[in-house]
Amino acid sequence: DAKTTQPNSMESNEEEPVHLPCNHSTISGTDYIHWYRQLPSQGPEYVIHGLTSNVNNRMASLAIAEDRKSSTLILHRATLRDAAVYYCILRDGRDDKIIFGKGTRLHILP
């Protein structure tokens, strides 16, 4: 399984943008980049995914490097409810296997 590397934790101020990095230097051509987050005492929640182009949805934006070896999840305006563990995952488009890495614990300061 292709691996991802994320910082263990990050801090950000409320109402500021947050950029969560992810390195995936061994990504293959069939791997999609997925982001999930897990709030305390809840199951993980899908955030966004992409293959090659940058993606936007109501929750976040995903910026993918041109060589696809890294990506950044962007929360445009953090709120206290965005405090969670954020997981960057590579999902092979050819199968249903999804393996979680250690993730980044995001702390939001009021």
Partner 1 sequence: DTEVTQTPKHLVMGMTNKKSLKCEQHMGHRAMYWYKQKAKKPPELMFVYSYEKLSINESVPSRFSPECPNSSLLNLHLHALQPEDSALYLCASSLGGPRRPGELFFGEGSRLTVL
Q: Rule CB under 8 A: choose which of 2, 10, 21, 49 binds partner 1.
A: 49
For residue 36, give the nearest of 95, 99, 109, 110 by alpha carbon.
99
* Choice between 67 and 96, CB closer to partner 1: 96
For residue 76, give the nearest of 2, 5, 18 by alpha carbon.
18
Question: Could you give the string, one character per residue 17-36, with x where binding to partner 1 holds by CB under 8 A and - elsewhere?
Answer: ---------------x-x-x
Q: If binding is defined by CB under 8 A, does position 93 make contact with partner 1? A: yes
DSSP string, 40-72: TTS--EEEEEESSS-EE-SS-EEEE-TTSSEEE
Q: How far is the CB of 35 from partner 1 (least distance, A)?
A: 10
- Pull the structure tokens for residue 39: 């709030």
Q: How far is the CB of 75 from partner 1 (least distance, A)?
A: 17
Residues that bind partner 1 (CB under 8 A): 32, 34, 36, 42-46, 49, 85, 87, 91-103
